[in-house]
Amino acid sequence: MEKNNELNELIYEYYKSRILFGIYKYGERLKSIPQICTSFKLARNTVQIALNRLEKDGYIKTEKRKVARVVYQGTEELFRENVVKYFALRREGILDVQFNGSLIFSSIWEKGLQNLRLELQNKTGGANTAWKTISEPIRLYVDVLDTFHNELLLGLFWQNMRYISYFYPPKNDRKANYAVEDLLSVETANRLKQETDAYYLNIYLDITGFIETNYEKYHLDHEVQIPFTWTIYRQRPQMRYTLASTIIREVLWDVYPVGSYLPSLPKMAERYQVSLITVRRTLEVLNSLGITKTYMGVGTKVSLEAVDIDIMNRPEIRENLRLHGEAMQILALTVRSVTHYTLESAKRERKKELLQTIRRLRDKSNSILCIDVLLNFISSECPSASIREIYGKLRELIAWGYIFSTVIMEAGQMVSNLNDFICQLENALQTDDSEVSAGLWQSFVEKRLNLFYKKFPMWNAPQDTIAGDKTGNYPNE
């Protein structure tokens, strides 16, 4: 599925759920296409595809030169049933996202708010210029996140919102409270955020109460819960790159040592639960990057040979590089709080296993392996299912950094000496100091991200996105 088709899914499900819940009822009109584009910061074509799907499925009707009108006819009883079924089947996941999402988005909010204030100062010429929020409170979040210029982050946010059906309240509710004119100070923005969070939390509690009283009525006792999943929007089919990422990690960990041969195509298809076509396409990717080399009639050998830098001109390689950088940025913004939370919650034996794995890194020389150890630990041990999902996807994307830092860049290491970091991390884990451990990981990831931006300035994030100053100087560098 193409990227814009996946993005139109957000618009499609947004309006579909509001129609099924009775927020938009028969005969009412949706917003105009330009208004929807502005709200979601998406292209007109993407929005139009979503509206076409809604019309095809019988939810709306579009007349020439007029905004779409709802043609779905539901009863109040049907609307109630739709609400109960949607939220009941996501009750556990929504609770998790609602209360653990702050570990992901709080630090992003704080840094993004600094970025937004700085952007407004630069546009208006001073900090004392009045700033006016648009009427919908969700736009404040989008404006803050948009300062990172990170498509991956914005996609994660929208998918969180889609999953918890953040827009469930009546479409015109609370507009007046957010049509304010004031200085964009930290206090103002945080007040708006706190009011919004509290408002939607109360709605969530009302919904859960409503579900409890109607649970048995709709026979949902034995229905399987639907967890939160994060789809990575990309221009090209994802399966081959997902599998390539897995094999790269296994090569780094000597599951497939340099000089060895990969299993046969049928065995790989069976092991990774994919088709033979996917395996062939994955090997094409790995061969093009010098990770492997296929010999006709013999097999595919792990080689890790350097390749021509011109490979950077291939669109699929450039896309994976962009996704790696954006994933590293999300990790740098969230790793401290998530790591601390996971370490505090993990069982003692699992932390001992983590320490043993860290010690294995002394014989390795690639910083990606260090990050992979942490991501593997969090994606398996974090109490939050949504965070496990997010960090599992970050693990897949960050593995691509090995290609660009070690293979393409003539086997150069992005971090020259890992021993000091590993020694400090061992000491922190041995003393069970979760706070120090989390801080060490944050510094390590930030340093690697800043080096990535220096090597690939065309993907450089805006200044002040992570921890740098206006001059482009970074700590720990």
Q: Kindly report, residue by residue over 353-387, the tens digit of the pLDDT.
A: 999 999 888 877 678 888 999 999 999 999 999 99
The residue among 228 and 172 whose pLDDT is bigger is 228
The residue among 198 and 95 whose pLDDT is bigger is 95
Look at residue 135 and tell me whether its pLDDT is greater than 80. Answer: no
Look at residue 2 and tell me whether its pLDDT is greater than 60. Answer: no
The residue among 154 and 218 whose pLDDT is bigger is 154
- The whole-number pLDDT of residue 4 equals 52
- The whole-number pLDDT of residue 123 equals 58
Q: Per the confidence metrics, is the pTM higher than 0.95? A: no
What's the one-letter identity of residue 383? P
- The whole-number pLDDT of residue 206 equals 78
Q: Kindly report, residue by residue over 405-448, the tens digit of the pLDDT.
A: 654 454 444 445 688 899 999 999 999 999 999 999 999 999 88
How high does pLDDT run on average in the chain?
80
CA distances from 278 to 151, 266, 314 (A): 26, 11, 19
